[in-house]
Copies of this chain bind each other. A is one copy, B any other.
Amino acid sequence: MASYRIDLAYDGSGFHGYARNSGVRTVQEELEHALATAFGSAVDTQVAGRTDSGVHARGQVVSFEAESGLNVDALARSVNAILGPEIVVQSVSRAEDGFDARFSALSRSYRYFVDDGPAPNPLDRHTVWHVDWALDEGALARAASAFVGEHDFASFCRAADGRTTIRNVTACSWSRESPDVSAPNGRVIHPGLLVFSVTATAFCHQMVRSLVALSVDIGRGRIAPDAIPGIFEARDRNAARGVAPPHGLVLWSVQY
């Protein structure tokens, strides 16, 4: 037997999250069904990040065990032919023995896309959260800095039944892409998207969307960046600002 790695992308709009959940449509169920069809027998998989309902993935990683000598390119083609356009295997590759997409992962990176322009762009409405306020990039940068490091993220996580909510955020930033459309007089018709990029060894449930919701409230001036330490200390979800919608969130990459 040998270990294999699948690099996977999906549009999460039509799925109730990655993980199998009886009675609803999930990415895992469709992927494992396609793998089982291609192999002729059931396949157990591990996944790096169990994304929530409506959340997308660009660089999700899945692993499984199978006989050595598998034709990985043929398998990728077969599985993609079975899957619809919403889930696409980017590649299948042989991994080192014992590779496990979940337990071998050193860290995960997510991106969250926010549009603070005067009107939404209909072409990216399934992957970007449009907010009705121009956000202050200086305030966003201060918020991102305050999230870095090892903290108890209890104020930013859905209740976890007594399990630890301490997480280590190794990198966190807000950046603005260059404007995509400008008028000939130089007037910007639409500013570039704001991109929240965050890497941590692991995340607790709804953590990225909670950090984004608080960031947006800070960027629009409703909360000061220096309120963040107190929000961490509260260890209370009511101290934060709810969650940003799922459709702006993408599991971007996984580091091994």
Contacts and interface: CB of A to CB of B under 8 A. Distances in A.
B256 A181 contact: no
Contact of A121 (B9, B91, B184): B9
B59 A189 contact: yes
Interface in A100-156: 117-123, 125-127
Taken together, the copies of this chain in the complex come to: 2
A256 B184 contact: yes
Contact of A86 (B89, B119, B122, B183): B122
A122 B184 contact: no
Interface stretch (A18-26, A38-46, A247-255): A247-255
A58 B9 contact: no
Interface residues of A, number: 38
Given A184-B255, A189-B7, A256-B184, A122 B85 contact: yes
B119 A80 contact: yes
A203 B59 CA distance: 39
Interface string A138-179: 000000000000000000000000000000000000000000
Interface centre among A118, A123, A252 (most CB of B within 10 A): A123
16 contacts: A9-B121, A9-B123, A11-B122, A11-B123, A58-B121, A58-B180, A88-B119, A90-B117, A90-B119, A90-B181, A90-B189, A123-B126, A123-B127, A123-B250, A181-B252, A184-B256
B9 A122 contact: yes
A87 interface: yes
A6 to B, nearest CB: 11
Contacts of A182: 253
Contacts of A123: 9, 11, 56, 58, 126-127, 250
Contacts of A91: 118-119, 189
A99 interface: no
